[in-house]
Structure formats: structure tokens, C-alpha cells
Structure 1
């Protein structure tokens, strides 16, 4: 479902005077575009996911100051790469990531971008559904009596996953326009906000030094407190775990496959207006990331788990706020899947059907095929996150940094010494370095674990 506007050579560089992008083939679906707030919620939903659970662990491996500097750097680079994409759209009239690849690198570039989007988004959707399969039964059990054990259907992750996919994910994914998901995205934002509030509140519910169980020489269990020194926050920290930090932070701001579809459906879509959408979305995501990571780290310090909620389960078992926030995060992850599905389906249709007008038959067929593959992977692959780890580390860095930089250098008429051209070169270099580091870290982890 390509949505390309005609090129207007009289477009103004900054986008303030740019004419609204045309919505060829989709005018019958809505009289007007998505509102500014709806677009912000959609982009935030594309940015934020289950990765927010691991940022406290990242802070523990880097230290507070180093983490904050890295978070500012990565979020700024992500915002800058979006700026380059929007600038190219404004200059060329192309508002499809795949078509920008075709303009820059001809047909191989269009195919390469489409495949990268498809792999990245299928991997992300499969990972999210895999998380739901593992965590949702435990979240439901948290609301039940401890004595209500058994093999009920609602405690079977596979059954729950099939029901959720059929009755929630599929209807939302069949919506023809990404703007329609603004309501569910706003609900997802509320869930993420609730998570940050709970992390802040529970900071004062868990004492430090932290009590933890140890086994004596006689085999008996006793409670031992961690030392007071462990309750001192570290400003800077360097260890082998720090190698995960930058890739994890970078993936936490990956939303570029959804930026241009959201741009196409924005009401009065100009570059300046969409730039405000991306700035607000990244700023709010940055704020929620920073608050949840900081207070999560200041709660558990060196004992923070790679998945933050695990620590609360240990020290505050069956706490009502912890139980509800676990369910809220899972619902937020669930509502992210249809949004990630939209660019994946768009890439499939572009690669297989080209720029044909919108067709419900093609739309439904592509939706069912993609969700079928994602559901099968989530159900039957034992560790979906490791399987897509290597592929995701390369495709994510390309979509986030490398492709926007290369496209700008190939398409833009600006001289190589201009500010944006130099910035594009730095994006490409940073993306390549990050991709190599991510790939190496994952391979080394596999070797050690085996």
C-alpha cells in the first residue's frame, strides 16, 4: 500500500510551506488524517516496548552519569536520523522508506530495505508474543488464590497466545490505516506511565541493604543483608556487561519503520508538523525511560535483574501494584504488535505487488500470512529472542542509522561539507560500529552459554 505524493519542485526546504502529502488510493478510507496527538501516541508506541524493563540493568552496568550521557546521545541520533528521512521526503515527494531505498540504490536498495523491515518487524512481533506466552499465565495467576493450582486453560501460554492473536491482534492489524491505532496507542502510553509511577513509588517499599537468602555449610537457609557499600549508586561503571548498553539503548528508540506511514496519514502533513510529532514522542519516551531506569536502579542497585519486575516478585511477592503493573506492561506490549505489523505488511505488499491501488483482498491476505508466521514462531521456537538476535542487531542498526545516512548522501543535492551531510556520514559510521559490536556481543554470549 504505497502512498506516494507527486514531486513538487517548489517545496520549501524547511517544510513549513510544503503542501500536504497526497494519500493516493486511501482517500475513501477517511475524510481527514490522524490528529497530532494520535500520531504522537502511535510513534511512542512504536518506540517503547518491553525493552523498558531492562534499562535499569543497563544503568547498573554503565553507572548513572554514563547511562544518562549515552541515553541523550542515542535519542539525539535517532531524532536526527528521522530528521534526515523527513527532509528527503520533503525534497523528493517520496514518503515510503522502501521507495527512498529505491531512489538511492535503485531496485536492489528497495528490496534490501523491504527485507530489512520485514525481518526486523517479524522478529520484534515474534519476540513480543513470545514474552506474552511466557509471562501472561504468571500475571493471571498473580490475581488468583495461591491454592488455586491446576492446569486451567488460562494458565496455558499457547492457548492464551492463540486466543489473543485471533481476537485482539488480528482485528487491530486488519485496520486499513495506522492512524486508527491512535486510541490503542494512547492506552499503551497510559500503561507505560503507570509502570514508571509504580517504579518510583516502590523505591521506598524495598529497604537497602537488600535481604537475600544464602545457604550455610549445614545446608540451612538464612537471611543475609547485602553490605551498605552496595547501596551507594555508581556514577560510572565499566564491565563486560557495558558492551550490551549502547545496542540496547539504540534498539529502544527504533521506530523508523513506522515514521513515514504515520507521516502519510498525519492531518495537514508537513515536515515541520511531523518533526514536532517525532520530537514530542522521543522526548516523552526519553523521560519515561530515564525515570523508570533511575528509580529501578536506585531500588536494587547492583542486584537489579535484567528484567526489572523479577526483583519486585522476589521482595514484594503478590503485591497488588506489582501484579497490576506486570499485566499493564504485557498489555502495552500486546498493543504494540499491530502497530509493528503495519510497516511489515506494507513492505510485503510493496515488494510483491508494487504501487498498485489499495485492495482489501491483498490487505487481508498479507495480514493473515504475516500473523500466521509470527504466531508459529512464537509458539514453536524455544528461544525466539536468541534466534532473531543476530539478524536484529544488524537490521536494526541499518534501519536506525545506516540507511538514513546513506540515503541522504545519495539523494540530497547538498554539498558533502554541509552540516546534514557530515551528520549523515557520522550516522553511517556509528551505525556500522554499533552493528558490529551488537553482532559480536551476541555471538560471544552464545559461545559462553554453550
Structure 2
């Protein structure tokens, strides 16, 4: 029995040992599994963090050519209509140099924005301003963009005020001396705003209006071809011009370098024509296989395409009318029997009517964001729309000329968006760079500040002289 008891005890001890070993092995296996799962979880968490860091903005799907088209749309605007007037007050030598200089400087400012975007992993202009200077920086970008869009809306509405009366006169067979209420520009801008622009602006979403920018660009290209064609068919001054005051010294001869009281309007007009900077980063975020180098190539193709288009429009418009050119080129063509010009007017008029609501959506959204209204409310939506449109109509009625819009917006918001803000943001976000690498941005910023300090006072002085001259003429 003893042996049996011992054997039984030994078997029990072996069984207990096996159970202990099994439990130990199971515990160790379980601990290893938990450790492996923790490692996998940490690895996945790390990858998730890295992925979220690098894919904060999804890979773009827009091709190079379509990005060029989008940026060209963003650049092109009503500023093209004032370039011939700018050339007439600077000359055939000085104007191309100014236009080329602003083209190159605009490309440099875009380069600064792209560098800041890459450094901060941010593709919103306002957010870059916030990262650099906090809320004041964000408000500076926001305010400049808001003012630029308001200026664009005013310039488009001014085109309606100028061109729609001529279209009605042609359709009704009236002569220039006819002063019926329905051919008065101020009355027409009110009617068009209430009947067409207001209903479109009251829509909750843009819908198909977002596609009108391509139509607008097409209209301007068509306008360019007509301007070139008319240079060879209209001898100066072989048509009836919309000129209120012509002196005996004004002739149809080229001026290569010109300086007068209106020369100061040239630079702001060019700046107004080139502003697209709030659209650069969104277009960059949508670019397929995006990189700074590729976006710079998009910018170069777009800007130099617009440079050629702007230069041709300005030169051929000027060489058609010389010193008689109007501050809004299209308005200088005033013959009633010119079907081609009528088609251009109708095309530009349609493009303008459809583009104003698009710009207005941006302006209203900015205003609502400033009011910290995140939730849609019809009452606020309608109220802000009525107030902003009423303000725009009043300004268009009382502003004497479209060149004044180009001057004010070009000298202020356009100057801020092209020169001052990109340079200031870049210098603030890269304050650790050596001084040698900061020289160019500093000079760029200085040029913007000097430009604003010179152009704004001179424009105001010219306004004062114009008012005084008008009062003297009236007496």
C-alpha cells in the first residue's frame, strides 16, 4: 500500500506540477498576447497620428491644366477693362514695364504663401494670418479679402450701369440724346438688382452659378479678339466717342512715356487686375500630386497667360482710341449700328450678372462668419443680403467713375493681399532665418507699404482737384 500511496502521491504531485506549469505557461502566453496587442495598438496609433498629420488635406484630384484654368479664372476680372486707360496715362514704354513688374512680384508673393503653407501645413490664407499674428492677422486677411470682393462686385455693377443703357438704346432705336428714365444708368442698376441679382443672391446655395467663371473668362477672351479686330476697322477718331471733355492738344498719336494727374491710377488698376491670392491655396490643395514646384509652374503659366492677354487688350484698346480712351474700355465703343460690339456688351453683361451672386455669396459668408453665425437662419440670410446689396447699389450710384473703384481697392486691399500680408506672414513665421534670407521679403514688404503711402494720398488729392474743377466749370 505504501508504494501505492507513494505512487499516488507522486502522480498527484506530477499532476499539480503540470497544472502549475500549464497555468504559468498560459499566463505567460496571455501576457505575451497582451504585450503584442499593446505594441500593435501603439504602432497603429502612431501610424494614425502620422497619417492624420500628413493627410490633413486629402490628395488633390485636379489636373495641371485644369488648375491653370481655375487660377486664370481667379485672376481675370473687370480690371482688364481699365488697363487701356492706365496705358494712356503712362505710355507704351512705361505701362508694359509696370505690368511685367507686377506679374513677377505677384508670382514672388505666391511663392511666399506656398512656403508658409508647407511650413505650417495650412492651406487657408486667413489661418496663416492667425498662425503668424493671432486674431489681428486673421482679421487683416479677412478684411482685405472682404474689401477686394466688395470692390469686384461694385466694378461689375458699374459695368451694368454703363453698358445696359447702350444696349437698350440700340434695341429701341434711340439716339444718344434721348434721356428717358428707362435708359438712365442709375435707374437701370436698381431695376436689375431687384429683378435679377437679388433673387439669385437670396438662394441658399450657389448651384450652377459656380460654373459661371468659365463663361466670364470666355467672354473676356472674345472681348480681346474684338478689341484687336476693331483696331484695324475704326480709324481714330472716326466714331462717336463717349468723351465729356476733349482738349485741343489731344491727338491720335502714340505716347511712349506719359505723366499727368491720372498716372497715379495706373498701378492700383494693375494691382486690382492681378489679385487672386485668396484662391491660390484652395487651388493648391486640389492640385493632383501637389508640390510647391508644381504649383509655382501653375502660377507661372496662369500669370504669364494673363500678362499676354492684359497687354494685348491694353495696347490695342489704346491704339484704337489713344488719348480718347474711356476709363472703362468697353464703354468707349458707342456706335449704335455696331452689331459686334452689341454682342460683346450682351456677353459681358450676362457674365457680370451671373458672377455678382457668386462673389456676393463669399462676401455674405464672410460677414456672417464675422458675426459668429454658424447656423443657417433665413431671417439673417435675407437681412444681410438686403443690407449689403443696398449698400453696393448706393455706392455704384454715387461713385463717379469705375477708375475710382480700381484706385481705392487696388491701393488698399489688393496691395495688402499681394505685397504686405504675404511678406509679413512669411517674416513672422520664419523669424529664425538668417538676415540674408530675409532681405528679399523685407524689401517686398517695404515696397508694398511705400506703394500704399504714395498712391492713397495722391488719389485723394486728384479727387479733390476733380471736384474743384467741376465746381469751377459749373459756375
TM-score by length of 2: 0.74
Contact residue 49 and residue 333 of structure 1 kept, 8 A: no
Q: Which residue of 2 aligns with 1:307?
A: 328
CA RMSD in angstroms, aligned pairs only: 3.8
The answer to whether residue 41 in structure 2 is matched with residue 22 in structure 1 is no
Q: Which residue of 2 aligns with 1:218?
A: none
Q: Which residue of 1 aligns with 2:391?
A: 377
Q: Which residue of 2 aligns with 1:15?
A: none
Contact residue 197 and residue 353 of structure 2 kept, 8 A: no
| 21 and 373 in structure 1: CA distance in 2 versus 1, 3 angstrom threshold | farther
SS of equivalent residue, structure 2 residue 228: helix
2:463 is aligned, of 421, 424, 446, to: 446
Q: Which residue of 1 aligns with 2:122?
A: 94
Q: Which residue of 2 aligns with 1:174?
A: 205
Structure 2 unaligned runs (5+)? Answer: 1-47, 468-475
Rounded to whole Å, the distance in 2 between the matches of 1:73 and 1:9 is 44
Rounded to whole Å, the distance in 1 between the matches of 2:379 and 2:67 is 26
Contact residue 91 and residue 256 of structure 2 kept, 8 A: yes
Contact residue 398 and residue 431 of structure 1 kept, 8 A: yes
| 387 and 45 in structure 1: CA distance in 2 versus 1, 3 angstrom threshold | closer
SS of equivalent residue, structure 1 residue 142: helix
Q: Which residue of 1 aligns with 2:453?
A: 436
| 310 and 112 in structure 1: CA distance in 2 versus 1, 3 angstrom threshold | closer
Rounded to whole Å, the distance in 2 between the matches of 1:349 and 1:33 is 30
Rounded to whole Å, the distance in 2 between the matches of 1:129 and 1:183 is 19
The answer to whether residue 313 in structure 2 is matched with residue 292 in structure 1 is yes
How far off its partner does 1:152 sit?
A: 6.3
Q: Which residue of 2 aligns with 1:361?
A: 376
Kindly report which structure 2 residues correspond to 1:127-146, keeping only aligned pairs within 5 A, or say none: 127-146=155-174
| 152 and 345 in structure 1: CA distance in 2 versus 1, 3 angstrom threshold | closer
The answer to whether residue 122 in structure 2 is matched with residue 110 in structure 1 is no
How far off its partner does 1:62 sit?
A: 1.1
How far off its partner does 1:403 sit?
A: 0.5
Contact residue 64 and residue 234 of structure 1 kept, 8 A: yes
Contact residue 82 and residue 256 of structure 1 kept, 8 A: yes
Deviations, residues 411-433 of structure 1 (Å, cap 9, x unaligned): 12533312xx3332122111112
Please identify, of 337-346 and 298-307, the stretch whose mean Cα deviation from structure 2 is larger. Answer: 337-346
| Count of aligned residue pairs for this structure pair | 406
Rounded to whole Å, the distance in 2 between the matches of 1:56 and 1:121 is 23
The answer to whether residue 413 in structure 2 is matched with residue 395 in structure 1 is yes
Contact residue 73 and residue 213 of structure 2 kept, 8 A: yes
Q: Which residue of 2 aligns with 1:70?
A: 98
Contact residue 210 and residue 358 of structure 2 kept, 8 A: no
TM-score by length of 1: 0.77
Deviations, residues 154-211 of structure 1 (Å, cap 9, x unaligned): 983312122322454555x8338xxx86632221111000110000001111124657
Q: Which residue of 2 aligns with 1:84?
A: 112
| 348 and 209 in structure 1: CA distance in 2 versus 1, 3 angstrom threshold | closer
Contact residue 277 and residue 417 of structure 2 kept, 8 A: yes
Contact residue 154 and residue 405 of structure 2 kept, 8 A: no
Rounded to whole Å, the distance in 1 between the matches of 2:71 and 2:398 is 28
Q: Which residue of 2 aligns with 1:320?
A: 339
1:183 is aligned, of 203, 206, 211, to: 211
Contact residue 162 and residue 375 of structure 1 kept, 8 A: no
| 66 and 308 in structure 1: CA distance in 2 versus 1, 3 angstrom threshold | same
SS of equivalent residue, structure 2 residue 262: helix
The answer to whether residue 274 in structure 2 is matched with residue 246 in structure 1 is no
Structure 1 unaligned runs (5+)? Answer: 1-7, 12-17, 24-30, 214-223
Q: Which residue of 2 aligns with 1:40?
A: 68
| 276 and 331 in structure 1: CA distance in 2 versus 1, 3 angstrom threshold | farther
Q: Which residue of 1 aligns with 2:349?
A: 330
Q: Which residue of 1 aligns with 2:188?
A: 156
| 96 and 165 in structure 1: CA distance in 2 versus 1, 3 angstrom threshold | same
Contact residue 129 and residue 137 of structure 2 kept, 8 A: yes
How far off its partner does 1:92 sit?
A: 0.8
How far off its partner does 1:319 sit?
A: 0.3
Rounded to whole Å, the distance in 2 between the matches of 1:243 and 1:149 is 34
How far off its partner does 1:100 sit?
A: 0.9
Deviations, residues 252-277 of structure 1 (Å, cap 9, x unaligned): 11111222233334455443343333
How far off its partner does 1:325 sit?
A: 1.2
Contact residue 97 and residue 260 of structure 1 kept, 8 A: yes
Contact residue 157 and residue 189 of structure 2 kept, 8 A: no
Rounded to whole Å, the distance in 2 between the matches of 1:350 and 1:271 is 30
| 152 and 182 in structure 1: CA distance in 2 versus 1, 3 angstrom threshold | closer
